[in-house]
Amino acid sequence: MALKKIYLDNNATTPCDPRVVETMVPYFFEHHGNAASRSHPFGWEAEEAVDYAREQVANLIYADSKEIIFTSGATEADNLALKGAYEMYRRKGNHIITLTTEHKAVIDTCHKLEKQGAEITFLDVERDGLVDLKKLEAAIKPNTIMISVMWANNETGVIQPMKGIGEICKKHGVLFFSDGTQAVGKIPTNPRELGIHLMAFSAHKMYGPKGVGALYVSRKNPRVKVTAQVDGGGHERGMRSGTLNVPGIVGFGKAAEIAKKEMAQDAERLSGLRDKLEKGLCQLEETYINGNVDHRMPHVANISFKHVEGEGLMMTFNQEIALSSGSACTSASLEPSYVLIALGLGDDLAHSSLRFSLGRFSTEEEVDYTIEAISKGVNHMRDLSPIWEMFKEGVDLTKIEWSEH
């Protein structure tokens, strides 16, 4: 008997925690003021609510509330950090170093900056998804102004050596920007302690509402400035104009407060469920976990099932289990994941990967059902596959010339 829809795509977005929704509701109707309207109580209430939420978000990452700039989400925060810092520090240099496995919001923004005269180094990662710190340091030039490395990868959950990167940036006087979207609210994140000067993150990845995010901008040692990318009114310390999304920001604040309190127990429970899921699925032949298993997020598993096409496998259970083959932002494409290709996976494994991202509301019963459904789907597809049959017979598939007709 199938369970009603199972959601294992929490890296794409998380459901809103009911406690967050409850906190937001009054700000749609009772306290509906504009936080920039300072001449009446409705505006004051809204401003007060935003100030409180800013404190809650800052507390989550051990920052000062003045270091939190609200945006429409992490994509806007990525754009503001990269474009804003490039414009602000262009006189010092035009070189930015990033990784080939970054989120598209960083990669595409870097490509845009290239058209404006920036020099971008896209550094390859090792086979386990981690950056080699020696190679990273060797890529720094006299004109390098920033290193941009995401805290945790959205597809594999791999956590980069943030402390080591921060030390390299400090040594060379280079800004360190991190897309912290997949890490903030799920593992402890303290940008100042690790030498991170700018960090983007989003409410909807931590059980808050969609459409609201933040950019952490360091105010001391060093004081960092970014040029506004949205003008008109000088909101958010002049870095991001626009009427603030008060209900969204209130929800973001509540989500941050809950995350701070419950993060450790959530992580412990989810890593147990994740390990159970992996153990169950790795009973299948030729099944591989992608990315470094010692340095990764507690709730993420990226698994390849050799010679089973990921999209096809999803068809066998698609109505019941929500999963991703690749990231949500690129899943409309049938190309294999660029992140997995960057890890050196061949098409046979890159095309056959599924990303499982568990969440606060995932249950053991759902994991049990998922193991059963996917095992059945993999076996079914392999039974139908002449390629699997040839592989089992020991045929070297790399030596076969396939006819186009």
CB neighbourhood size of 115 (10 A): 7
Half-sphere exposure of 326 (CA within 13 A, CB side): 19
Q: Which residues, listed in sequence order, are joined to residue 305 by a DSSP beta bridge?
A: 287
What is the DSSP secondary structure assignment for residue 240, as one 8-state letter? S
Indicate left, alpha or beta for 81 from its phi (over 0: left) and psi (-120 to 50: alpha): alpha
Token readout for 118 is 């920036």
Cα distances from 228 to residues 2, 113, 183, 193, 246, in angstroms, run 50, 15, 25, 26, 20
Which residue in 16, 110, 169, 329 is the catalytic one?
A: 329
Q: Is 282 a catalytic residue?
A: no
Q: Please report where in the chains the tokens 């609510």 appear, as a residue.
A: 49
Burial 361-374 (b: 16+ CB within 10 A, else e): ebeeebbebbbebb
- Tell me the one-letter amino acid at 231: D
Nearest to 233 by CA among 15, 20, 19, 36: 36
Active site residues: 329
